[in-house]
């Protein structure tokens, strides 16, 4: 007679449910614990601790995997309270490497007869081991190893729980690594930006070279450095800006095939020498002990190597990393540009130099002006930007605030024209964008920006502006007019055109001044035209100004048109008025219309 199937009794069922609930609660604890920080070392330590605790293992370890070199690095460990930590180093033929390479977990319930541990002394192997891959997508970040001194049974539910825990751990580690990389990149970009601003302000070649090598040493925490430039007449690499410990010593000229400097010059590639005295290519006439760890990068003009920059650390300092090589390699082109600009300054006429710089500046500045305005439901927007020279001081911006429930609109006019105005415009724009937030009123935002601009302004430069916050759904707008031309407000209901009054003075004049703000409501069909004085003060051949009346006339004649059509009509009217006369001032116009 066939046996009747056995079913779990109520006690077994309840026990299984309790275990499942405990594991779900533990998994929730893992997720909450791992998402509470993005600091990589803290995440790794927490993964090891929580894994050891929740898996009830004797110890837990996190190994990070470098697939390019097939190397594993112990990143974190956690031992049970009654365990004594020991040093660990995975064998290339061992379990950890196997899991890292294959991406498949390995569970060993009893290591006694397992082939992986053949020939391994009993004291050096666990009783049981779970090794799980830390996988993100198709990549393997590392492994999670759980060791038990006694044999241990990994039932299917336990394996599934550990696998799910490893997946969450991998996500947390990957997020932390991305955060660390982003933080490092942001820090490097900020340091490079600050350093680039510093070096590009110097046009005297000898001072520039000294400044560049000092900044390069600061970027890499080096203690000395040098520039070698190639001299075609002597076919030598000539030291031009020794800095640091050997500045008082005689620094040798080198042939292009001598030492690390010559190798970098010929190859055009960076080179790291971690121990200069022990390096096989060391130039014998350079005294031992002068250099410790040296990083060399080529300085290029286009595709041609014109010299080599090197930064030296002592032997006791940290070794150079790939990040160090990348950072100095990013700095080198900026240094090369600064050097070439300084050379051109010395040999070229002033006008030719300015034209080259202004062409570059226009490209950079035009990138600060929005190429496209945001698409806002129920609104029609258009804008125009025309600098009088290659670069200018007028600018506008339109950007979302508070998850696009409100928008910020900014139009500004920097005093003066040309390069000084463009540089001041870049400063003012950066400060204004940083100061404008949805959490503060327009008046507070502009007052904060004014204090910062006053602290940095020079030569009496200032900026007038209009800043408005508006809510697309309600049509409510709150604006500040800081000494700017009064925008024109058209009301459809009354067919009336009025001016929005000023609520304060220009920025950069008085850091203690307070700004007022005004509130208005745009109905359907209403629009506002913001503009700079380049429109009303456009001058014809007879030195007559276009004026406010002509501007009002163009707006009223085209009030039924779209904002793009109004803008086109205004541009045509100004050009027709000016005729053959050159544009006398920068022009910026923004029109916002509620449909």
**Which pLDDT tens digit goes with each residue over 303-338?**
889 889 899 998 888 889 888 898 888 888 888 888
Q: What pLDDT is stored for residue 281 in this prediction?
A: 87
What number is the average pLDDT over the span 27-46?
68
Crossing angle of helices 547-557 and 563-578, in 10° steps, is 140
Question: 418: which DSSP letter?
Answer: H
Q: Which helix (H) or strand (E) holds 410?
A: strand 406-414
Residue from 410, 394, 406, 451 nearest 588 by CA:
394
CB 199 within 8 A of CB 338: yes
CB 70 within 8 A of CB 101: yes
Q: What pLDDT is stored for residue 348 in this prediction?
A: 54
Exposed, middle or buried, 547 (CB in 10 Å: 0-12/13-18/19+)? middle
Q: What pLDDT is stored for residue 420 in this prediction?
A: 77
What number is the average pLDDT over the span 230-257?
77
Give whole-number Cα distances, 280 to 260, 264, 273, 274, in Å: 10, 15, 10, 12
CB 147 within 8 A of CB 59: yes
Secondary structure of 57-85 in HEC code, one letter for each residue: CCEEEEEEEECCCCEEEEEEEEECCCCCC
Sign of the dihedral through C-alpha 552, 558, 560, 566: negative
Which of 95-104, 238-247, 467-476 bottoms out in mean pLDDT, i.e. has the lowest?
A: 238-247
Q: Which helix (H) or strand (E) holds 487?
A: none
Q: What pLDDT is stored for residue 548 in this prediction?
A: 95
Residue 568 has pLDDT above 90, yes or no: yes
Tokens of 394: 């007028």
Q: What pLDDT is stored for residue 1 in this prediction?
A: 46
Q: Which helix (H) or strand (E) holds 401?
A: strand 394-401
Q: How far apart are CA 466 and CA 449, in angstroms?
A: 13
Tokens of 119: 């020939």
Q: How far apart are CA 304 and CA 340, in angstroms?
A: 12
What number is the average pLDDT over the span 496-500?
95
CB 408 within 8 A of CB 370: no
Q: How far apart are CA 55 and CA 63, in angstroms?
A: 17
What number is the average pLDDT over the span 139-147?
90
Which of 21-35, 94-108, 330-344, 525-539 bottoms out in mean pLDDT, i.e. has the lowest?
A: 21-35
Residue 555 has pLDDT above 90, yes or no: yes
Using DSSP's 3-state secondary structure scheme, residue 296 falls into strand
Q: What pLDDT is stored for residue 247 in this prediction?
A: 46
Structural domains in the chain, CATH included, are 21-82+91-180 (3.30.450.40), 205-347 (3.30.450.40), 369-594 (3.60.40.10)
Q: How far apart are CA 103 and CA 106, in angstroms?
A: 10
What number is the average pLDDT over the span 31-55?
75
Residue 515 has pLDDT above 60, yes or no: yes
What number is the average pLDDT over the span 548-552?
95
Residue 498 has pLDDT above 80, yes or no: yes
Mean confidence (pLDDT) of the chain: 84
Higher pLDDT, 451 or 367: 451
Residue 527 has pLDDT above 60, yes or no: yes
Q: What pLDDT is stored for residue 34 in this prediction?
A: 55
Which residue has 């949805």 as its token pair?
A: 438
Which of 92-106, 110-124, 372-386 bottoms out in mean pLDDT, i.e. has the lowest?
A: 110-124
Q: How far apart are CA 530 and CA 26, in angstroms?
A: 59
Q: What pLDDT is stored for residue 229 in this prediction?
A: 87
What number is the average pLDDT over the span 498-521?
94
Q: How far apart are CA 140 and CA 67, in angstroms?
A: 8
Residue 35 has pLDDT above 70, yes or no: no
pLDDT band per the 50, 70, 90 thresholds, residue 423:
confident
Of 20-24, 220-224, 448-452, which one has max mean pLDDT?
A: 448-452
What number is the average pLDDT over the span 281-308?
88
Q: What pLDDT is stored for residue 589 in this prediction?
A: 96
Higher pLDDT, 34 or 522: 522
Residue 286 has pLDDT above 80, yes or no: yes
Give the percent of the chain with pLDDT over 90.
34
Higher pLDDT, 470 or 180: 470
How many CB atoms are closer than 10 A to CB 520?
16
How many CB atoms are closer than 10 A to CB 510?
14
Q: What pLDDT is stored for residue 436 in this prediction?
A: 84
What number is the average pLDDT over the span 229-254?
76
pTM attached to this predicted model:
0.44
What number is the average pLDDT over the span 295-308?
90
pLDDT band per the 50, 70, 90 thresholds, residue 18:
low
Residue 350 has pLDDT above 80, yes or no: no
pLDDT band per the 50, 70, 90 thresholds, residue 564:
very high
Give whole-number Cα distances, 278 to 256, 265, 274, 316, 452, in Å: 21, 21, 9, 14, 53
Residue 349 has pLDDT above 50, yes or no: no
Q: What pLDDT is stored for residue 53 in this prediction?
A: 81
Which residue has 């010929």 as its token pair?
A: 266
Question: 136: which DSSP letter?
Answer: E
CB 391 within 8 A of CB 377: no
Residue from 331, 334, 354, 332 nearest 344 by CA:
354
Q: What pLDDT is stored for residue 22 in this prediction?
A: 57
Q: How far apart are CA 450 and CA 506, in angstroms?
A: 9
Q: What pLDDT is stored for residue 241 in this prediction?
A: 67
Question: 415: which DSSP letter?
Answer: S
Q: Give the total residue count for the chain.
A: 595
Q: What pLDDT is stored for residue 90 in this prediction?
A: 77
């Amino acid at each position: 007679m066939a046996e009747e199937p056995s079913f779990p009794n109520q006690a077994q069922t309840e026990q299984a449910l309790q275990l499942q609930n405990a594991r779900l609660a533990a998994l929730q604890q893992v997720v909450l614990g791992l998402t509470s920080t993005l600091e990589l070392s803290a995440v790794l330590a927490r993964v090891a601790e929580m894994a050891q605790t929740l898996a009830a293992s004797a110890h837990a370890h996190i190994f990070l995997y470098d697939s390019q070199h097939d190397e594993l690095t112990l990143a974190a460990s956690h031992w049970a309270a009654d365990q004594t930590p020991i040093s660990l180093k995975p064998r290339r033929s061992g379990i950890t490497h196997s899991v890292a390479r294959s991406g498949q977990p390995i569970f060993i319930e009893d290591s006694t007869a397992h082939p992986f541990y053949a020939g391994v002394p009993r004291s050096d192997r666990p009783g049981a081991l779970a090794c799980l891959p830390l996988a993100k997508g198709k990549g393997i970040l590392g492994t999670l190893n759980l060791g038990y001194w006694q044999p241990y049974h990994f039932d299917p539910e336990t394996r599934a729980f550990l696998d799910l825990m490893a997946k969450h751990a991998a996500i947390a580690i990957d997020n932390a690594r991305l955060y660390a990389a982003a933080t490092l990149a942001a820090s490097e970009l900020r340091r490079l930006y600050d350093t680039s601003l510093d070096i590009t302000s110097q046009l005297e070649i000898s001072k520039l070279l000294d400044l560049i090598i000092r900044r390069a040493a600061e970027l890499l925490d080096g203690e000395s450095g040098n520039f070698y430039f190639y001299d075609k007449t002597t076919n030598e690499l000539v030291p031009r800006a020794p800095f640091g410990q050997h500045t008082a010593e005689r620094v040798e000229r080198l042939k292009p095939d001598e030492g690390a400097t010559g190798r970098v010059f010929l190859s055009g590639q960076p080179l790291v020498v971690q121990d200069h005295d022990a390096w096989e290519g060391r130039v014998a006439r350079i005294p031992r002990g002068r250099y410790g760890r040296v990083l060399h990068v080529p300085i290029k003009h286009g595709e041609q190597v014109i010299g080599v920059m090197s930064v030296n650390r002592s032997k006791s300092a940290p070794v150079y990393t790939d990040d160090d090589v990348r950072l100095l390699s990013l700095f080198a082109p900026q240094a090369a540009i600064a050097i070439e600009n300084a050379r051109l300054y010395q040999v070229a006429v002033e006008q030719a130099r300015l034209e080259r710089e202004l062409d570059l500046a226009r490209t950079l500045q035009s990138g600060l002006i929005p190429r496209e305005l945001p698409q806002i439901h129920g609104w029609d927007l258009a804008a125009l930007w025309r600098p009088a020279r290659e670069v200018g001081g007028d600018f506008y911006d339109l950007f979302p605030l508070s998850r696009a429930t409100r928008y910020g609109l900014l139009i500004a006019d920097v005093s003066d024209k040309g390069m000084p105005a463009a540089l001041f415009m870049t400063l003012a724009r950066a400060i204004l964008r940083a100061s404008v937030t949805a959490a503060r009123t327009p008046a507070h935002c502009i007052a904060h920006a004014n204090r910062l601009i006053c602290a940095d302004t020079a030569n009496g430069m200032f900026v007038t502006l209009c800043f408005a916050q508006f809510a697309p759904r309600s049509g409510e707008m709150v604006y500040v007019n800081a000494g700017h031309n009064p925008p024109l407000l058209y009301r459809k209901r009354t067919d009336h055109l009025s001016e929005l009054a000023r609520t304060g003075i220009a920025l950069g004049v008085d850091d203690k001044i307070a700004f007022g703000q005004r509130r208005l409501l745009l109905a359907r069909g209403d629009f506002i035209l913001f503009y700079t004085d380049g429109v009303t003060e456009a001058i014809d051949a007879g030195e007559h100004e276009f004026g406010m009346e002509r501007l009002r006339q163009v707006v009223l004649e085209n009030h039924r048109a779209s904002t793009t059509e109004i803008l086109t009509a205004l541009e045509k009217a100004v050009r027709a008025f000016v005729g053959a006369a050159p544009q006398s001032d920068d022009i910026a116009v923004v029109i916002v219309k509620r449909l």
